[in-house]
Structure 1
Amino acid sequence: MHIPANWTFDNPDIAANFDHHVIEQLPWYPMATDLICHLARCFLQDNAVLVDLGCSTGMITRKLADVIKDRNIEAVSIDNSKEMIDSFQGVGEVFQGDMMSLDLYPNFDVCVLCLSLMFTEVSKRKQFLRGLADKTKAGGVIIILDKIEPPAGYLGTCINRMSIKNKYEGGVEAKAIIDKELSLCGAQRPATEGLFDQFGLQFQPFFRVGDFVGYIWEARETARDPRGHS
């Protein structure tokens, strides 16, 4: 796959080769998506709603196809790239749109953001997560896998070098690694760990490899008296 000078998902070549490319760049990706799908399955009861934001080619709903069918799940997938939508091989409804436009999709039982938050506008992320929490039904979850800013100092350097080592040992040529890193400048902005502790939401980590972390937040049921007090 040709790496463009400035990374964009609005590229037919990237969309056509995306599934192979992401596994090549992130050798642990199949394990991470298996874990995400296991968690999603645990929270998808009959007639639930599943939303996949930044769905790319539909890996998540494709892996959950049997659950979606057997439990009559309403699956909604969104991506802002027409090329990705054209290459979609998942299950359920899919359409092109900005995942930060919260009115585009219904309230949900499970929402998945797999490697998509890091490509959104930084200044809008806090309110976006608050909005997602408001759209989560009681007992539902938000599941996020994303790149996080590494720790400061030498530890951060070590983590970055481990990421390079993983790609190189996975068969990616050194030039392709450099080209991809330079291509991502400005397009990919890793989140900070503090983002996931806003508004008292307290996302819980469930996966970590280097500077990629999986977080989950559960909308727990709370009992309220007639006056509206917890």
Structure 2
Amino acid sequence: MKESDNIFAKPLEKVPDFVFNEDVVNVFPDMIKRSVPGYPTIVENIGVIAAQYAQPNSLVYDLGCSLGAVTQALRRHIKQPNCQILAVDNSAPMVKRCQEYLTAQDAMYQELTPTQVVEADIITMPWQRASVVTMNFTLQFISPEQRLAVLTAIHQHLDPQGVLLLSEKLRFDDEKEQQTLNELHLAFKRANGYSELEIAQKRTAIENVMKIDTFAIHQERLLKAGFSKVTLWFQCLNFASMIALP
């Protein structure tokens, strides 16, 4: 039975920095559903888009796989022969639960793309050649100083016919646009049952660990990393997903 997210429901004397620990893992599906507008659409269509770029006999990365929602979509949609998915996360509780969910998916579907789940830090892990790389709300948790290096490494190991699918929360240079979309996102959270206390404490917990960029910064950085074209394929309020081509 999936648990409801009430991590920040009670007043905390000191709000700790947000970490993907066992408590978060237990409520993560509910947390994402109630916090990220458009999330189910992003996840399902990452699988659809990835299937258009996956090459036979190739590796597919899901970086920052968390509980494996994107990995499951990739497994359902990619039909190329001899593909393998490598799902990577640096949270041991996430990796353990992700593997459990994929095992359950195996029992429901036949002929899914073979998948390995590994605990690793994408900053330091060794890279392999890949035709598809997905980063679904992952880059924003990497320090800004390290983001270009990660994207450059991805580009260097990406098949010329492949794709990087990058989803991120966005900020906006225009002050009024930023205020409007931020307020609408807060309204989305309230509509999904979060209290003002929960919203405030979650904001405090995450402000030091999640640094968000504008689309223009993402685009400039991806081009600097070697990608030739960056397309915004989806946006819902201040959450977006991009296609980056080698």
TM-score by length of 2: 0.81
- Asked if the contact 2:58/2:129 (under 8 Å) is kept, the reply is no
- Counterpart of 1:186 (choices 208, 215, 218) is 208
C-alpha distance 151-69 of structure 1, shift in aligned 2 (>3 A): same
What is the deviation of 1:68?
5.0
Instruction: List runs of 5+ in structure 1 lacking aligned partners.
Output: 220-230
Q: After superposing the two structures, state which structure 1 stretch, 137-146 or 70-79, moved more.
A: 70-79
C-alpha distance 215-70 of structure 1, shift in aligned 2 (>3 A): closer
For the pair 1:215 / 2:242, whether they are aligned, the reply is yes
| Residue correspondence of structure 1 range 119-130 to structure 2 within 5 A | 119-130=141-152
For the pair 1:101 / 2:112, whether they are aligned, the reply is no
For the pair 1:8 / 2:19, whether they are aligned, the reply is yes
| Per-residue deviation, residues 78-107 of structure 1 (Å, max 9, x unmatched) | 11111111111236111111112252x411
Q: Which residue of 2 aligns with 1:20?
A: 30
3-state DSSP class of the match of 2:188?
helix
What is the deviation of 1:153?
1.6
Q: After superposing the two structures, state which structure 1 stretch, 209-218 or 107-116, moved more.
A: 209-218
C-alpha distance 71-20 of structure 1, shift in aligned 2 (>3 A): farther
* AA at the equivalent of 1:203: V
Q: Which residue of 1 aligns with 2:166?
A: 144
* AA at the equivalent of 1:94: V
Q: What is the total number of aligned residue pairs between the two structures?
A: 217
- Asked if the contact 2:55/2:80 (under 8 Å) is kept, the reply is no
- Distance in 2 of aligned mates of 1:178 and 1:188: 15
What is the deviation of 1:212?
1.7
What is the deviation of 1:52?
0.4
Identity of aligned residues (%): 21
Q: Which residue of 2 aligns with 1:226?
A: none
What is the deviation of 1:58?
0.8
* AA at the equivalent of 1:8: V
- Counterpart of 1:195 (choices 218, 235, 240) is 218
- Asked if the contact 1:102/1:132 (under 8 Å) is kept, the reply is no
* AA at the equivalent of 1:155: E
What is the deviation of 1:164?
0.5
Q: Which residue of 2 aligns with 1:44?
A: 54
- Distance in 1 of aligned mates of 2:243 and 2:74: 18
Q: Which residue of 1 aligns with 2:198?
A: 176
When the two chains are superposed, the root-mean-square deviation of aligned CA atoms in Å is: 1.9
- Asked if the contact 2:170/2:212 (under 8 Å) is kept, the reply is yes
- Distance in 2 of aligned mates of 1:44 and 1:70: 7
C-alpha distance 42-33 of structure 1, shift in aligned 2 (>3 A): same
TM-score by length of 1: 0.87
- Asked if the contact 2:163/2:243 (under 8 Å) is kept, the reply is yes
